[in-house]
Every structure is written in C-alpha cells, then in structure tokens.
Amino acid sequence: MKMFAGGFWRRVGAMVRKEFLQLRRDRITLATMVTVPLMQLVLFGYAINTTPRYLPTAVLLQEQSDVGRSILAALQNTRYFKVTQLPRTADEMDHLLAAGQVLFAVEIPANFERAVRRGDRPTLLVAADATDPVAAGSAMSSLGTVVQTALRNDRLIPDSGQTPFEIRSHARYNPAASTQLNIVPGLLGTILTMTMLIFTALSVTRESERGTMESLLAMPITPIEIMLGKIAPYVLIGIFQAALIIGAGVLLFAVPIVGDPVLLAVLTTLFIAANLATGYTFSTVAQNQLQAVQMAMMYFLPNLLLSGFMFPYAGMPVWAQWISEAFPLTHFIRIVRAIMLKGSTLDDLHYDTAAMLVLTLVAMLIAVTRFRRTLD
Amino acid sequence: MTAPTDVVAKRMADAAEATPDIAIDVHGLTKSFDGRTVVRDLSMQVRRGSIYGFLGPNGSGKTTTIRMLCGLLTPDSGSGTCLGYDILTQADKIKLHVGYMTQRFSLYQDLSVRENLEFVGRLYGVPDPRAAARDMIKRLGLDGRGEQIAGSLSGGWKQRLALGACTLPGPQLLLLDEPTAGVDPKARREFWNEIHALADEGLTVLVSTHYMDEAERCHEIAYIAYGELLTHGTVDQVIAQAGLSTYTVSGEGLSRLSDALSEDKALMVAPFGNSLHVSSRDAQALERAIAAHRDEGRWTWTRAEPSLEDVFIDLMSRSRDNFK
C-alpha cells in the first residue's frame, strides 16, 4: 500500500463519512435496521412455540354418558387441546380433519361407559392430522394420561390397575411421521414466495431507475396493462419452478400426491400470482431497487416464521395467527399439504382458496392505485 | 424512406378532424414542486407543421413544460390543448398522437434496436410492427445494426434510435427534449436534417435545445428563463423585438476592456472568441459608454447585428433581475 503516501486513515474516514451521509438519506434502510431485529425477536420470542397448545380438536360423542362428558371436560382442561367442534357423524369428523379445521379428532364410541364398567377395555379412537408431525406429537403423547387422570378424578374408574380402555391413535396422512412429507410441500410455498417476490419487486423500480418509465408513461398504455404484462411472464416461470420442486419432491423424497394434481396446479398458479402481485405492489411503493429488495425481505421473514412452514400455526398466539392469515403462504401451505398428503378436494379448501384470491386482488388493487401515471 | 402508407393516411385523417392549424395552444401553465415555481404563467401557440425551438438555460422549465404538454405532469393551473385535445382531461388521446423523446435515453438498454422499435410499434398498435421496425432501421441508417443491443450504441446513434422510436407510430407532434445534448456536430447536423424531413412530411416539432445554431434552424423559437416565457417569434423577430444595439470589438487586451465595460449596468458584454460583443438596449447610453474607450484607438469597433445569443443573455440577465 505505497500507492498514496500517508493519509490512509483520512481516506478511510472520508469514505465512512460519505457512507453515513448516504445512509441517513435512505429511510427504508434505516427502517430495516430497526424493524428486522425487533421483528425477529418478537416473532421468535412470543409467537413461536414448538410444543403448541390449544390445538383445535373435534370430539365425536356417540353416546351421552358421564364418561364421555368427563373425557370431553378433561380435554378442554388440558392446555394441549381445545375442543372446537362437536361433529355428529364420523363423515363430518373426517371432513373437519381433511379441511384442516381441526388437528385432532377424538371419537367416543357408543356404549363406551358400559364397556368400561364391565371391564371390556373398549377403544377410544383418536385421529391426528400428522401432516405436521411437530404440531401433533406432544399432544398425542399426553392424551392417554390426560384421559385416565380425568376419569379417576371423577371416580369413574378405579385409582389403580390397568387402564380400563384402550386408546387407538392414528397418525393420519403421514403414518410414519416423516419430516420430509411435511417439509417438501412447505418448501414449495417458501421457495416460490422468495423467487416470485423478488422478480416483480424489482420490475417497476428498475424502469424508474433506468429512466425507461418516462417513455413508457408517455406511451398509450394503462397501469393495469403494465402490471398484467409484467406479471404474466413470471407466472410461467413460477409454474415451471413449481413443477421442478414437486417433481424433485416426488422423485427424491417419495412425497405422494394423494389429491388431484390438476387442482394442485391451479391453486399453485393462484399462489404464484398472489406473490407476484405482492412483489409488484412493493415495486410501486419503493423508490429504488434496493428498497424494493429490502421490503421484500421484510415481508418474507414473517412469512417464513408465521406461515406454519417452520413452526406449527396452531401453536401461535391468536394475534400472530391473525397476522399470518394475511400471508398467501399460510394458506398455500395448508392447501398444498392438504392436496398432496390428505387428498383434499376444493370442497375442503374453499376458505384458503378464497383467502389467496382476495389477497391477490387486494395487492393488485393497491398496486394499480399506487402506480403513478404521471411524474408529479 | 417514408412511414407505412396506412399510418400516414391515419395521421392525415386525424389531423383533419382536430383543430386545423394550431398544434399546441396553452395558456397560463403554472407548475411548482415543493413550493418552488418551475413554470410560471406560460402561454404558447405552435403552428402545425412548424419546427418550434424551445430555448432556455438549465433548470428554466423546458422539460417541465414539455411534460405538461404530453400529460406526464399535471399543471397546477392553466389550460390548453395539444392537437386539439385538452391537456388536463385527454392525456390518453394526446399520448396516441404525440412522440416524446426524453432528455435521457429512455429506451431499453438491454433490448436490441429492432426489439425496441417493435415494442413501441406493438404498444401503439402499428399494423405490422416487424415491417415498421425494419423500415425504421433502414430510414435511420442503422442497416445491419438491428440486432445490436441499444445500450452498446454510441451517443449519436442512441439519439437517432430514440427519434426513430417516437416517430415510428406516426405521431402528429414530436416533443424532443434536448435531443442533441452531448452529440457530436456531424450527428447533430444529420439529426436536424431528419427533423426537417419530418416537418416536411407534416409533423409539428417542438424541440428544446441549448445550441444557438440549432435555434436558427427552427421556424419559430421561444425563450424561457426562470419558468417564464420571455420572448417568441421567428429568429429575426426575436432579435428585432429585443431592440439591442451591438458593437463588435476586436484587438489586444480585450479582457481589460471587458472588465471596465462590465461595470456599467446598462451594458452587456460577452466575449466571442477573439472579439467582444458590447450591447445595450439604450443605443445612446451605449455610444456614451464606449466613447472614451474608442478614443484610446487600441481596438477596432464595428457596429454589428446583435446575435441571438446576445439577445438571450440580455433577456436572461434582465429576468434574473426581476426575480431578485
């Protein structure tokens, strides 16, 4: 370093000073510096819980008996289960599981109480949605003790001796509790969110930064036409990417596609559009490409943490669940797990489908209204 | 060497239905940004088929005015028409018939010449964009460069391509914002030949520039400074209206003379190469002021026609005084 004699620190200092001056004028970067760590801390600290509690549970009471009521009350009292549904038939119960409205279904069969008293060891049927093994795991393992304690407290069974009933649990949709089966569909959504967001987040800011926007605005084309024209090519790229991920998931990790592949393709396309529209919205708000990327990252982080991909949705507090409902990824992860692992049909998925559609339209609406037709 | 015939026919039909001979007719345009008035109460009329030069120093409001004319900016107040369409409410119609060439190259640097031209053609609904682009490449003299990436063209070629892109859809009016800034003299000359050719085909051209020689190639000019339109007319009219008396002085030690004369507020002194232009709006004051120096006999004094530049410098310094 003998190129310029002396003044090394002066020149470094001048550079540092200049960087700070530029940083001070870049509000979005400053905002990212504050919000990203805070957001991570709050989300990780309060929202994420790997041993989730209050899991939505359906109880099918085939008989009205003290034992049945006692079990129901016991489940309610634990912090693991929250009995949200009382279906009347087994079909109804299956539908609740398939639609993802409940993670557990407990069936108390007819004549259960009489069989207990006679010492016949009847079977209590428990079905868990094991598409997310983490969510189901700890609740599942506690179930037996919970029920037994409840019945003992109510003096319905003797204090000691063999359990007077048998719990037959069934890990639905993922009997081997394989993590890959859970992760691969989730990854499909996460990867698509990441790539699609960045594609369109840059699209409008790039035109503004390179000066091509001025020409474009002077030409006879409307904001909606610009938006659709910019989103459409990436829909194709997204579909290609989705096919690649699903193909690799099937070939490498033996992830099944139990449900309708056409439905999967259609809803994946909708999800791709939702993310492209969201990215495009950032693009109309951001002033330059760097800001657009930062906004996309700020949006992506809570997506990753709260969508149910990394941590069980059911384990989050309600406020965090409300936030995650605003992410297309939350709905898509439910949809893709449901179609690929559970074989769910559109009938089971209309809520999440409608939610994605609404989010897409809202993003597009914001983008079109935010888009400045003039240089004012 | 002509645009596709159907496009020409469409242009003529459109021209006939709009106002017959005025292309731009605006009154009282005012625009401010963050409380700073950039254009103030500007009115102008441009005849169809004419080349209208728009002159003024940097930051005088030329670009802002042009952007208001084509609907890219909304004036704070004022009104008017462009090609018979209201600039406040019919920007969409205006965009269909106006070619706007931005100051900074604003075509896609990462597309080829042909791809850029075809894109523009398709946006405007030109019937056969491929053919239109091919014809335009030929017309621009870019044969063999159609596949070249626009970003790799030299400055002069970029300007020609930009002009080609905004004439391709067959507009009735061209708004050219400093099209020849930073372009070498030969390319500038060719560019202006092209502009005259287009005007001969019936296009109206509003062109902003800093160059005095370019102003003299215009049918009419307007001079704008500090957001106000100070004068307009043909070059001769503008010079005559200014009412300047000018002397050209040559000889040794002109800088000392210049310093001495500059102290007189009634005079305007500007060096032109090896000579000095001394002008004033008050012919008698001019004679009085130079009398002493004349008697020194060191310099040659010649009564001269004021140049356009003398007029503009005079206008600018007086308008700056008004702003103080």
What are the pLDDT digits (tens) for B138-197? 998 888 899 999 999 998 899 999 999 999 999 999 999 999 888 888 989 999 999 999
Taking contacts as CB-CB distances below 8 angstroms, the residues of chain A near B73 are 374-376
pLDDT band with cut points at 50, 70 and 90 for residue A151 = confident
> Among all residues of chain B, which has the CA nearest to that of A229?
B123
Dump pLDDT digits (tens) for A269-325. 999 999 999 999 999 988 888 889 888 988 998 898 888 888 888 778 888 889 999
Q: Write the residue in B73, B92, B102 that is nearest to A215 by C-beta.
A: B102
Tell me if residue A141 falls in helix, strand or coil. helix
Which chain A residues in 187-216 lie under 8 Å from chain B, judged by CB atoms?
Answer: 210-215
Would you call A375 and B102 a contact, using CB atoms and an 8 Å cutoff? no
Q: What is the DSSP letter of A308?
A: S
Give how far A211 is from chain B: nearest CA, Å.
5
Would you call A214 and B107 a contact, using CB atoms and an 8 Å cutoff? no
Within-domain flag for B316:
no
Q: Write the residue in B73, B108, B120 that is nearest to A374 by C-beta.
A: B73
- What's B265's domain CATH number? 3.30.70
The answer to whether A221 contacts chain B (CB < 8 Å) is: yes
Would you call A211 and B102 a contact, using CB atoms and an 8 Å cutoff? yes
Q: Write the residue in B98, B106, B124 that is nearest to A211 by C-beta.
A: B106
Contact between A95 and A349 under an 8 Å Cβ cutoff? The reply is no
B91 and B24, same structural domain? Answer: yes
CA distance A94 to A103: 11
Would you call A220 and B96 a contact, using CB atoms and an 8 Å cutoff? yes
Q: Which of B10, B32, B39, B67 to mutate to test the interface with A (most CBs of A within 10 A)?
A: B67
Pick from B111-125, B245-259, B307-321 the range whose average pLDDT is largest.
Answer: B111-125
B257 and B145, same structural domain? Answer: no
Would you call A219 and B123 a contact, using CB atoms and an 8 Å cutoff? yes
CA distance B235 to A145: 101
Q: What is the mean pLDDT of residues B202-208?
A: 95
Which residue from A254, A97, A258, A99 is spatially nearest to A178, judged by alpha carbons?
A: A254
Residue B324 pLDDT > 80, yes or no? Answer: no
CA distance A176 to A172: 9
Compare A280 and A135 and report the one with higher pLDDT: A280
Tell me if residue B153 falls in helix, strand or coil. coil
Domain with B199, as residue range(s), is: 5-235
CA distance A85 to A103: 11
> Among all residues of chain B, which has the CA nearest to that of A373?
B72
Which amino acid is it at B317? Answer: S
Q: What is the mean pLDDT of residues A320-337?
A: 93
**Domain residue ranges in chain A:** 55-172, 179-370
Q: What is the pLDDT of residue B10?
A: 54
B214 and B124, same structural domain? Answer: yes
Q: What is the mean pLDDT of residues B253-258?
A: 84
Which residue from A132, A91, A196 is spatially nearest to A340, judged by alpha carbons?
A: A132
Q: Write the residue in B71, B109, B123 that is nearest to A221 by C-beta.
A: B123
Compare B35 and A67 and report the one with higher pLDDT: B35
Q: What is the mean pLDDT of residues A11-28?
A: 87
> Among all residues of chain A, which has the CA nearest to that of B75?
A376
Residue B256 pLDDT > 90, yes or no? Answer: no
Number of domains in chain B: 2
Would you call B74 and A376 a contact, using CB atoms and an 8 Å cutoff? yes
Neighbour order of strands in the sheet with B22-33 = B36-47, B22-33, B77-82, B85-86
Which residue's entry shows tokens 């400053």?
A: A30
Q: What is the pLDDT of residue A253?
A: 87
Dump pLDDT digits (tens) for A38-51. 877 877 778 777 77
CA distance A129 to A57: 10
B195 and B299, same structural domain? Answer: no
Taking contacts as CB-CB distances below 8 angstroms, the residues of chain A near B108 are 210, 212
Would you call A218 and B74 a contact, using CB atoms and an 8 Å cutoff? no
Tell me if residue B305 falls in helix, strand or coil. coil
Q: What is the pLDDT of residue A55?
A: 84
- What share of chain B in percent tops pLDDT 90? 53
B275 and B160, same structural domain? Answer: no
Would you call A219 and B124 a contact, using CB atoms and an 8 Å cutoff? yes
B84 and B203, same structural domain? Answer: yes
Helix axes of A328-337 and A261-285: crossing angle, nearest 10 degrees:
170
> Among all residues of chain A, which has the CA nearest to that of B34?
A376
Which amino acid is it at B96? Answer: L
B298 and B213, same structural domain? Answer: no
Contact between B168 and B133 under an 8 Å Cβ cutoff? The reply is yes
B161 and B124, same structural domain? Answer: yes
CA distance A41 to A23: 24
B229 and B264, same structural domain? Answer: no
Which residue from A137, A136, A111 is spatially nearest to A124, judged by alpha carbons?
A: A111
Q: Which of A216, A217, A219 to mutate to test the interface with B (most CBs of B within 10 A)?
A: A219
ipTM: 0.82
Taking the CA atoms of A210, B155, B163 and B123 in sequence, report the sign of the dihedral they define: negative
Q: Residue B278, by phi and psi: left (phi above 0), alpha (psi -120 to 50) or beta?
A: beta
In this structure, chain A runs to a length of: 376
The answer to whether A219 contacts chain B (CB < 8 Å) is: yes
Residue B44 pLDDT > 70, yes or no? Answer: yes
Last residue of a domain, one of B197, B217, B235: B235
Would you call A220 and B100 a contact, using CB atoms and an 8 Å cutoff? no
Topology of domain A55-172, per CATH?
abc type-2 transporter like fold (3.40.1710)
- What's B120's domain CATH number? 3.40.50.300
Q: Which of A212, A226, A228 to mutate to test the interface with B (most CBs of B within 10 A)?
A: A212
The answer to whether A220 contacts chain B (CB < 8 Å) is: yes
Would you call B102 and A217 a contact, using CB atoms and an 8 Å cutoff? no
Within-domain flag for B324:
no
CA distance B129 to B175: 22
Q: What is the pLDDT of residue B14?
A: 53
Lowest pLDDT segment from A259-268, B5-14, B64-73, B85-94: B5-14
Give how far B195 is from chain A: nearest CA, Å.
20
Instruction: Give the residue numbers in B contacting A (CB under 8 Å), as ranges.
Output: 67, 70-74, 92, 95-96, 98, 100, 102, 104-109, 120, 123-124, 165
Give how far A205 is from chain B: nearest CA, Å.
14
B147 and B71, same structural domain? Answer: yes
The answer to whether A217 contacts chain B (CB < 8 Å) is: yes
Within-domain flag for B52:
yes
Q: What is the pLDDT of residue B7?
A: 54
Taking contacts as CB-CB distances below 8 angstroms, the residues of chain A near B71 are 218, 374
Q: What is the pLDDT of residue B6?
A: 59
The torsion defined by the Cα of B56, B60, B62 and B64, in degrees rounded to 10, comes to 180
Dump pLDDT digits (tens) for B93-105. 999 999 999 999 9
B252 and B228, same structural domain? Answer: no
Within-domain flag for B313:
no
Q: Write the residue in A213, A220, A376 that is nearest to B124 by C-beta.
A: A220
Residue pairs spanning A and B at CB distance below 8 A = 47
Q: What is the pLDDT of residue B2?
A: 43
β-bridge mates for residue B231, sequence order? B223
Would you call A374 and B74 a contact, using CB atoms and an 8 Å cutoff? yes
Q: Give the rounded distance of the alpha carbon of A83 from its chain centre.
A: 22
Dump pLDDT digits (tens) for A186-241. 899 999 999 999 989 998 899 989 999 999 999 999 889 999 999 999 999 999 99
Taking contacts as CB-CB distances below 8 angstroms, the residues of chain A near B104 are 211, 214
Structure tokens at A43: 């989300």
> Among all residues of chain A, which has the CA nearest to that of B121?
A219
Structure tokens at B175: 């708004």
B266 and B134, same structural domain? Answer: no
Q: Write the residue in B72, B92, B106 that is nearest to A374 by C-beta.
A: B72
Within-domain flag for B323:
no
